Amino acid sequence: MKANKKITRVDFTKATIVAVIVGAVLSMGFGMAIAQPKEVKIGVIYPLSGPVAHAGQMAKEAVSLCVDYVNNKWPDLPIPIGKWEGIPGLNGAKIKLIFADHRGEPDRGADLAKKLIIDDKVVGICGCYHSSVTKTVSTVCEKYKIPMINPESTSPVLTKRGYKWFFRATPHDRIFVRDFFEFLELLTQGKVPGVRAVSKSDIDEIGACTENTEWGAGTRDVIKEFAKKYGYKIVSDVTYPHESPDLTAEVRRLLAPKPETLMFASYISDAILLTKTMKEFKAKANIFWSQDVGFYQPKYMETFGPAINGILNRTVFSKKLFAVKPVAKHINVEFKKRAGVDFMGTSARAFTGMQAWAYVLNKAGSTDPEAIRKAAETIEIPGKDLIVPWKGIKFENVGGETNQNTWSSGLIVQYQKQDPEIIFPLDAATAKFVYPWPGLK
């Protein structure tokens, strides 16, 4: 009997230990299954120093404001994120942004992306403004299978690489350049308010001037493509080094054949230098159009004042939208308090890109990269939730492109009394078109 009792006690002790261990393991496993992170880290890569630092800082202010709306309660905000207090699908987890400064350098951008992914353990990347930097950063994301949402880079090449982990929210340069040539066609047909039909022979000789990075080179290619398609002649084709200290020779070549339509793709420091140089040459043409970016920044407007009247810009945003998009007006008030300026094309897209990140995380309900990628592939964000005048955000694979937002669209604005008025699409126009461009004096 004593022996039996001893065996029973030993068995009981073993059973108890096993039960405790099994229970602990099961408890840990169950906890891991239901645990949700308290914060979600997203790496944000922008040019926060260097020649285009102002644009990068405005983008930083915009994404930070969006995350403030997501993480905290804003009961007066008339879109869903104002009531979230964190990501609902992640049990209220807060977004934490980790900023990095690429300074406009593609190789540095790639290195920063690796650090954010490997060391900081971000679940995704947002950025990078420069198409050239976006190209290298997205390649890193593709290698490490980390989702990247790009709010504002417009080189068409970026969505033609078949990348599964890269998603672009903005329209790209083929869309913007196509819009401009369609506008020229309407101008020759007498359909543009404020102007009688313009003879095509008065605007069909084009002078193109583009910087030489990924973005400028891509714009140059699509200008050539659509000029040929619509029957326009490129009489001067000037490419210059990005951040060049002097552009006198380039401007002389640009203006020598006396083009009737001028088309530009320049970042802010280049745009200011080009405009100062063209003023010295007393540049004239019938139409002056630019690819947003340098020619559509607060710093550019402050530098030249009334001299910019008549210049056309492609963009995705204008204050004139406030009359038809109350949510844009509402959010702009807070943005201006923080940034000191109104939303413009770059900052509005940066806000929208981070908003897309919030919606994707909410739909994924997980920080697993594959779950986030699948959520991005199927997300449909309605235009009524956005500050930009788009149908919404829907990433699709169409026409040889991968994960391009097919619900995005562009605007053409014209400086009139230094105030950008919407000129195209015609059904959204807020003023009559002023023609011809008065030139730089």
DSSP one-letter string for 97-138: EEEEE-TT-HHHHHHHHHHHHHTS--SEEEE-SSHHHHHHHH
Q: Answer yes or no: is 440 within a domain.
A: no
* Residue 152 pLDDT > 80: yes
Looking at residue 88, what is its pLDDT? Answer: 98
Query: pLDDT at position 243, please?
Result: 86
Q: What is the pLDDT of residues 121-147, one digit of tens each?
A: 999 999 999 999 999 999 999 999 999
| 353 pLDDT higher than 50 | yes
- Do 45 and 136 share a domain, yes or no? yes
Angle (CA) 147-153-156 rounded to 5° is 95
Q: How confident is the model at residue 440 (pLDDT cuts 50, 70, 90)?
A: confident
Predicted confidence (pLDDT) per residue in 223-272, tens digit: 999 999 999 999 999 999 988 999 999 999 999 999 999 999 999 999 99
- The helix (H) or strand (E) run that includes residue 238 is strand 233-240
**Contacts for 180 with CB less than 8 Å, ≥ 6 apart:** 226, 263, 289, 312, 314, 412
In a domain, 324, yes or no: no
User: Same domain for 60 and 148?
Assistant: yes
Question: Does 37 have pLDDT greater than 50?
Answer: yes
The CATH number given to whatever domain includes residue 370 is 3.40.50.2300
Q: Report residue 9 CA to chain centroid gap.
A: 70
What is the DSSP code (8-state) at residue 40? E
The number of folded domains in the chain is 3
CA distance 222 to 209: 13
Task: Identify whether 59 is part of a domain.
Answer: yes
Kindly state whether residue 115 falls inside one of the protein's structural domains: yes
Q: Is 203 within 8 Å of 187 (Cβ atoms)?
A: yes
pLDDT at 32 over 50: no
pLDDT of residue 292: 80
Expressed as residue numbers, the domain containing 2 is 1-35
Collect all residues with Cβ–Cβ distance below 8 Å to 376 and sequence separation of at least 6. 147, 149, 167, 360, 395, 403
Same domain (yes/no): 299, 200: yes
Do residues 121 and 23 share a domain?
Answer: no
The verdict on 348 and 364 lying in the same domain is yes
Whether pLDDT at 24 is above 80: no
Q: What is the mean pLDDT of residues 196-206?
A: 98
Same domain flag for 71 and 46: yes
> Are 274 and 205 in the same domain?
yes
Helix (H) or strand (E) holding 345: helix 345-364
Residue 322 has pLDDT above 90, yes or no: yes
Which two structure tokens, joined as six digits, stand for 28?
């840990």
Query: Do residue 179 and residue 284 come from a single domain?
Result: yes
**304 and 207 part of one domain:** yes
pLDDT score at 293:
83
Q: Is the pLDDT of residue 181 over 80?
A: yes
The tokens for 271 are 């745009």
Label residue 419 by pLDDT band (50, 70, 90). confident
pLDDT category at 21 given cuts 50, 70, 90 is: very low
Whether 110 is in a domain gets the answer yes
Q: Quick one: pLDDT at residue 301?
A: 92
Give the phi and the psi of residue 152 in degrees, each rounded to 5: -140, -5
User: What average pLDDT score do residues 324-329 get?
Assistant: 94
Please answer whether residues 233 and 224 qualify as being in contact, where contact means their C-beta atoms are separated by less than 8 angstroms.
no
161 part of a folded domain: yes
Residue burial 366-375, b: 16+ Cβ < 10 Å; e: rest: bbebebbbbb
- Mean pLDDT value of segment 147-160: 96
Residue 196 has pLDDT above 80, yes or no: yes
Q: How many CA atoms lie within 13 A of 212 on its CB side?
A: 9
Taking only the tens place, the pLDDT of each residue in 67-120 is 999 999 999 999 999 999 999 999 999 999 999 999 999 999 999 999 999 999
Residues 17 and 137 in one domain: no
Q: pTM of this prediction? A: 0.86
Instruction: Give the pLDDT score at 36.
Output: 66
**One domain for residues 179 and 272:** yes
**Which residue type does 192 have?**
V
Report if residue 438 sits inside a domain.
no
Are 73 and 87 part of one and the same domain? yes
Q: Are strands 148-150 and 166-168 parallel, antiparallel or unpaired?
A: parallel
Closest C-alpha among 198, 216, 223, 200 to residue 130: 216
Share of the chain above pLDDT 90, in %: 87
Residue that is written with structure tokens 């979230």 in the block: 84
Tell me what the mean pLDDT of segment 367-385 comes to: 98
Q: Is residue 158 part of a domain?
A: yes
Q: Taking all residues of the chain, what is their mean pLDDT, rounded to a whole number?
A: 91
